[in-house]
Structure 1
Amino acid sequence: MCGIVGAVSSGDVVPTLVQGLQRLEYRGYDSCGLAVHMAGPLDGVVRSGGLVRARSTARVAELQAQVLADGLRAATGIAHTRWATHGAPAVHNAHPHVSCGPGVRVGERPARVALVHNGIIENHEALRGELQARGYVFESQTDTEVIAHLIDSVYEGDLLEAVRAATARLHGAYAIAVLHHDEPQRLVGARAGSPLVLGIGAALDGPAAHYLASDALALAGVTDRIVFLAEGDVVDVSLGRYRIVGADGRALEAAARPVKTVQVGSQDIALGPYRHFMQKEIFEQPRALADTLQGVEGIVPELFDDHGVRSRAAWRVFAETDRVLILACGTSYYAGCVARYWLESIARVPTTVEIASEYRYRDSVPDARTLVVAISQSGETADTLAALRHAQSLGMGNTLAICNVATSALVRECELAYVTRAGVEIGVASTKAFTTQLAALFLLTLALAQAKGRLSAEREARHLRAMRHLPVALQAVLALEPAIIRWAEDFATKEHALFLGRGPHYPIALEGALKLKEISYIHAEGYPAGELKHGPLALVTNAMPVVTVAPHDALLEKLKSNMQEVRARGGVLYVLADADTHIGSDDGVHVIRMPEHYGPLSPILHVVPLQLLAYHTACARGTDVDKPRNLAKSVTVE
């Protein structure tokens, strides 16, 4: 969602701030801005000045042009991309927000505090009323401006102490970075419920520097030495040094928050020969799956022991597991829905899949012998983290993260983890993260089946052979792109679509519909094909294309009957069929044949044509594929 970058350096930080925002554009935003401290030394020359900011409701490139035109150069600064929660997308609501003190409007006097914020402050209305009564004048409708004025109201010469005092009164989620007029070359950050990292400058030939960011990706190419701040931490950053204070108010030793090397190569965030990042990431799936399965020689619980860090924990957890509870949102939720079929049919373990934002607020019946599996691409999804913590509070301590980011909060807070290796995913619409999640969930299924004595050596070997062949099988599916482009030309003129599937391919129909709606803005629904006659059939006309996922499995004949129901009402079918299904193209029936039937792993192959269909339909309609309207990549607020 929103993105934060901050820096303290002996050189000019403005290019670093802008570059960091550009790296965070993939998260989604509707405005951006930066604030810099013009006082203090820069390139060896001591200057005077104060806080200056620039903001825009256009792209970061426009902000860059603005700061270049204004000649902004500074050794300390903060920057932000905003995704609106409180207040419409407008310059006066864009970050950074400032406070000029009580009784002073912005512009009447130099700003005393400048601040950027990710998250939501739940008690902002009460704090706003209190601060207005004390004379503070608000220029925005945001909850963030409340924090800036609150810090100013308690400031007594020490920015760290002011931030600690102010954040103690905040209810909700936040990651903040703050500057003060009276303290050049000092930057203070704090986090609770939203991620924030500290970057340690390590360049021998460049200027000394330290950084703050909401995502280590923002610092790619600047530093790979990262400190991941924990819940409740406040960090005090100045030139050449930093200090972290924990939630209990005590300064922490360096060992408590170790510096980790995080490799994010420039190739991961380069578009290369592709038109969009989504297209690039669709075609990266064979490699991503190969990387995710790298080192899997056999099915053993240690695969989920966070790469062996927690010795034999998975053996104990799997032995204690009677049930599985999967918590996730969006695309990750659909991955969990596919896994339910695998877990119950192969491992014979009862499984429930919950939408995280619903589970965390409803009354449920806890079971201490439940394995709680939390799935998230980023590992920072607010609802998934809150649902995990809720399950833990109910006494379900056996937890497993399936996540694409090894250093994320989700991985840190779970007892076990399987870190997928999809690589950086820039496009808002998740593709390679989904297929690698499915691969990890299939491995989990096999591991639980083995732990329960339900996986023979012969079946294990067969499943592993199929998994190792997945990258090759996916390459053959990607070769279907020209035929899918022809389908997309038809879909681009439609406003509604229906996706049908049965069994483990029903969640794939849901995922296909989600992809089409989120990037092409076509209304699409996924349905279990057997439910067609219970209502949705009323919508079927020749103006609503019906996509059918038709693998050669036990439900094929039932699915063919559902397809006939569509044709009898004049509906037009677009069928993804295995080669031996004997479904042929005809008037009103368009068939693309999958290269091979893939048994239980078929959902991983069948979703890829649906990703391509959504992508090429969106291209034909001219939408912003990588940054669809109203959506953000990493949803870190409720």
Structure 2
Amino acid sequence: MCGIVGYVGDRDCADVLVDALSKLEYRGYDSAGIAVVEKGVIKVEKCKGRLANLVDKMAVDGKPQGHCGIGHTRWATHGEPSDINSHPHGNKRVSIVHNGIIENYKQIKDFLIEEGYSFVSETDTETVAKLLDYYYVDDPVDTIIKVLSEIKGSYALGIMFRDYPDTVFAVRKECPLIVGVGENENFLASDVPAIIKYTRDYYLLEANEIAVVKKDSVQIYDMHKEPVHKEINTADWDVDAAEKGGYEHFMLKEIHEQPAAVRDTVSPRIINGMPDLSQDGVDMQKLKDYRQIFIVACGTAMHAGMVGKYVIEKLARKPVIVDIASEFRYRDPIITKDDLMIVISQSGETADTMAVLRLAKEVGAATLAVVNVVGSSIAREADMVIYTHAGPEISVASTKAYMVQISVMYLLAFELAYANGTIDKERCMELTAQLGQMPDIIRETLELKDTCSFVASKLVNAESLLYIGRGLDYALSMEGSLKLKEISYIHSESYAAGELKHGTISLITEGMPVIAVATQKKLIEKTVSNIREVKARGAMVILICDNSIEVGEGVADYIIRLPQTDEQLMPMAAAAPLQLIAYYTSVLKGNDVDKPRNLAKSVTVE
């Protein structure tokens, strides 16, 4: 959740830290702070609210002057957003920033109070800072090892000791942390976008590896204080990919990047007109023999899994169970070594999804990860990994990550169906060709932006609305509803259209918006009947369908017509207009589109 940065070098440290934090605000923006070694003293500046508040505060107070420091942007867990609860935490001898949750902080706090320590914040992080101070004598690495043996939970920590004014220390467990490697300068960051302006080279820290970062060296140790030798990773995108590029918001930029992202994800995996995931280490002959498939994820990624369920079951005739990661792991699921577990995560660090992956591995099930971030924790632990090629996604509301995730679901479905013999080669090549053309179809749907903006103007004053659909359209409605509610703050629910009469239709009032998705021709008559039912009760209906469907007069108040493609692929055509409707509704309401309240991009704690 929270964002961590660190810097050691010759530049103005405060400027580098603030610049790096500006690229991590999508991880949390309840407060921000930095600590810099200034003339042998750790000077801290922090405050509640956005990073801009910290910049304004330092313009009055004066920014810390130095060349070694750490910084933090917070998504609050323990303790409300406030100046006092802001990071960094510590005292004159030690200062830390933290992402994660210390589960046994109360026991540690009680112990330290007995030892004479006092606490000023409500955070779990302050207990780690005080524990470091308690054990510190003269060797920071020994001190960190001792503290790690006592704390339980998830963490990424950036640490400074006053006695080592030219060094930043770092350690992680379950929460992401990288060490950026530059020339006569080195960095610490939760994610690559924070440092891409300065370097593309970085080390990925494994659990409980301790990094000792100086301007001209990086040394990494394990819990036995033995040196660890690691390979340097290099980011395959540049700083332009993490900038807005002339768009008003990252979300709008990322919506328009979807054609290229789908092309980059799909094209390398089409060989001689057929889907081919062998380069990703996927053996389709093994996959087809699994008893059943589980797809587990959170939020938008789970909705991509729902699309996967529909197409895999329909085409490959293989049973698929889709579940929310936070629910799956706690319901004693019936999963065996004869099953395949597919986990989907944009960041590859989602805490609940990671836990499900480990549960599956414990029982001997095969695991396949679909992730966007190379070298992420989930990618490293899964038996097989399919990387999506969305590039950096900065906006909290996911768009292009969702589109490439469902692209991978289609590739899996097509190849698995052919391997199972449930579709012949001709049909497989036909579907694959249509998938290869989806970048052009998506680009065409983006031309509907003016219509989507107009429709959004009809939603601005709504207090509540429904999204309805059947089959694949229902799966897509779930994602459309989530996008709208998370950035516009309008209450929205998605419902299987056939379920309306079982209770939900009682919510329909005069003028209430209902967004109906109807792209599946075999279901169109049933869906239109459901639309007429809500229309008869006063709903304002916005219909999204392909341009070949005839629905009759008076069925909808507004219609958004999509270019035609195979109906199995229609969720990819319809997703962009639903994203644009959510985007323009949020803009018209004056919301911060890229940083919706209470949300963070990467959920690395339970």
Tell me the TM-score range normalised by the shorter chain: over 0.9
1:221 maps onto 2:197 in alignment: yes
> Aligned match of 1:281 in 254, 257, 260?
254
> Aligned match of 2:464 in 468, 493, 496?
496
* Pair 1:155–1:595, CA change in 2 (3 A): same
Secondary structure of the residue that 1:142 maps to in structure 2? Answer: coil
Kept in 2, the 8 Å contact 1:302–1:315? The answer is: no
Secondary structure of the residue that 2:267 maps to in structure 1? Answer: coil
Q: Which residue of the partner structure matches residue 64 of structure 1? A: 55
Kept in 2, the 8 Å contact 1:551–1:597? The answer is: no
Q: Which residue of the partner structure matches residue 360 of structure 1? A: 329
Kept in 2, the 8 Å contact 1:276–1:626? The answer is: yes
Q: Which moved more, 1:570-579 or 1:174-183?
A: 570-579
Supply the distance in 2 between the matched residues of 1:231 and 1:74 (Cα, whole angstroms).
30
Supply the distance in 2 between the matched residues of 1:538 and 1:158 (Cα, whole angstroms).
67
Query: Where does 1:382-393 land on structure 2 (aligned, <5 Å)?
Result: 382-393=351-362
Cα distance, 1:582 vs structure 2: 1.0
Kept in 2, the 8 Å contact 1:376–1:403? The answer is: yes
Cα distance, 1:320 vs structure 2: 3.7
Query: Where does 1:130-209 land on structure 2 (aligned, <5 Å)?
Result: 130-202=111-183, 208-209=184-185
Q: Which residue of the partner structure matches residue 23 of structure 1? A: 23
Per-residue CA deviations over 1:226-272 (Å, capped at 9, x if unaligned) read 1101112111222322221224x242342xx2111113312112212
1:267 maps onto 2:237 in alignment: no
1:231 maps onto 2:185 in alignment: no
> Aligned match of 1:627 in 574, 589, 595?
595
Query: Where does 1:445-594 land on structure 2 (aligned, <5 Å)?
Result: 445-584=413-552, 586=554, 589-594=557-562
Q: Which moved more, 1:278-287 or 1:627-636?
A: 278-287
Report the TM-score, using the length of structure 1 for normalisation: 0.92
Cα distance, 1:366 vs structure 2: 1.8
* Pair 1:264–1:377, CA change in 2 (3 A): same
Cα distance, 1:154 vs structure 2: 0.5
2:270 is matched by which residue type in structure 1? E
Supply the distance in 1 between the matched residues of 2:601 and 2:578 (Cα, whole angstroms).
20
Q: Which residue of the partner structure matches residue 103 of structure 1? A: none
1:78 maps onto 2:70 in alignment: yes
Supply the distance in 1 between the matched residues of 2:593 and 2:58 (Cα, whole angstroms).
28
1:335 maps onto 2:271 in alignment: no
Per-residue CA deviations over 1:157-183 (Å, capped at 9, x if unaligned) read 011111111111111100001111111
* Pair 1:177–1:300, CA change in 2 (3 A): farther
Kept in 2, the 8 Å contact 1:317–1:371? The answer is: no
Cα distance, 1:362 vs structure 2: 1.6
2:405 is matched by which residue type in structure 1? Q
Per-residue CA deviations over 1:86-113 (Å, capped at 9, x if unaligned) read 11110000000013xxxxxxxxxxx111
Supply the distance in 1 between the matched residues of 2:43 and 2:54 (Cα, whole angstroms).
14
Supply the distance in 2 between the matched residues of 1:179 and 1:585 (Cα, whole angstroms).
69
Q: Which residue of the partner structure matches residue 127 of structure 1? A: 108
Cα distance, 1:68 vs structure 2: 5.1
Supply the distance in 2 between the matched residues of 1:154 and 1:128 (Cα, whole angstroms).
14
Supply the distance in 2 between the matched residues of 1:22 and 1:574 (Cα, whole angstroms).
38
Kept in 2, the 8 Å contact 1:546–1:574? The answer is: yes
Cα distance, 1:404 vs structure 2: 1.2
Cα distance, 1:419 vs structure 2: 0.8
Cα distance, 1:15 vs structure 2: 1.8
Supply the distance in 1 between the matched residues of 2:108 and 2:580 (Cα, whole angstroms).
48
Per-residue CA deviations over 1:20-68 (Å, capped at 9, x if unaligned) read 10111122321000001124xxxxxxxxx21001002232233234445
1:344 maps onto 2:335 in alignment: no
1:187 is matched by which residue type in structure 2? V
Q: Which residue of the partner structure matches residue 394 of structure 1? A: 363
Kept in 2, the 8 Å contact 1:304–1:417? The answer is: no
Kept in 2, the 8 Å contact 1:478–1:608? The answer is: yes
How many correspondences in the alignment? 605
> Aligned match of 1:376 in 334, 342, 345?
345
1:252 is matched by which residue type in structure 2? P
Report the TM-score, using the length of structure 2 for normalisation: 0.97
Q: Which residue of the partner structure matches residue 38 of structure 2? A: 38
1:212 is matched by which residue type in structure 2? L
Cα distance, 1:352 vs structure 2: 0.5
Per-residue CA deviations over 1:488-526 (Å, capped at 9, x if unaligned) read 111001110000010011111111111111000000000
> Aligned match of 1:606 in 562, 568, 574?
574
Cα distance, 1:529 vs structure 2: 0.2
Supply the distance in 2 between the matched residues of 1:498 and 1:34 (Cα, whole angstroms).
44
* Pair 1:352–1:97, CA change in 2 (3 A): same
Supply the distance in 1 between the matched residues of 2:236 and 2:197 (Cα, whole angstroms).
10
1:12 maps onto 2:4 in alignment: no
Q: Which moved more, 1:363-372 or 1:137-146?
A: 363-372
1:90 maps onto 2:82 in alignment: yes
Kept in 2, the 8 Å contact 1:300–1:447? The answer is: no
2:259 is matched by which residue type in structure 1? P
Per-residue CA deviations over 1:185-216 (Å, capped at 9, x if unaligned) read 121111111111111113xxxxx112111112
Secondary structure of the residue that 1:443 maps to in structure 2? Answer: helix
Supply the distance in 2 between the matched residues of 1:373 and 1:278 (Cα, whole angstroms).
27
2:21 is matched by which residue type in structure 1? L
CA RMSD of aligned residues (A): 1.8
Kept in 1, the 8 Å contact 2:141–2:225? The answer is: no
Cα distance, 1:316 vs structure 2: 5.9
* Pair 1:33–1:335, CA change in 2 (3 A): same
* Pair 1:299–1:634, CA change in 2 (3 A): farther
Cα distance, 1:304 vs structure 2: 4.0
2:310 is matched by which residue type in structure 1? Y
Kept in 2, the 8 Å contact 1:579–1:597? The answer is: no
Supply the distance in 2 between the matched residues of 1:317 and 1:210 (Cα, whole angstroms).
44
Q: Which moved more, 1:269-278 or 1:149-158?
A: 269-278
Cα distance, 1:441 vs structure 2: 0.7
Q: Which moved more, 1:154-163 or 1:229-238?
A: 229-238
Instruction: Mark the runs of 5 or more structure 1 residues left unpaired by the alignment.
Output: 40-48, 100-110, 203-207
Cα distance, 1:299 vs structure 2: 8.2
* Pair 1:408–1:558, CA change in 2 (3 A): same
2:147 is matched by which residue type in structure 1? A
1:617 is matched by which residue type in structure 2? T
Per-residue CA deviations over 1:532-575 (Å, capped at 9, x if unaligned) read 00000000112321110011421111111111111221222110
Cα distance, 1:338 vs structure 2: 1.0
Supply the distance in 1 between the matched residues of 2:397 and 2:322 (Cα, whole angstroms).
21
Secondary structure of the residue that 1:363 maps to in structure 2? Answer: coil
Instruction: Mark the runs of 5 or more structure 2 residues left unpaired by the alignment.
Output: none
2:193 is matched by which residue type in structure 1? L
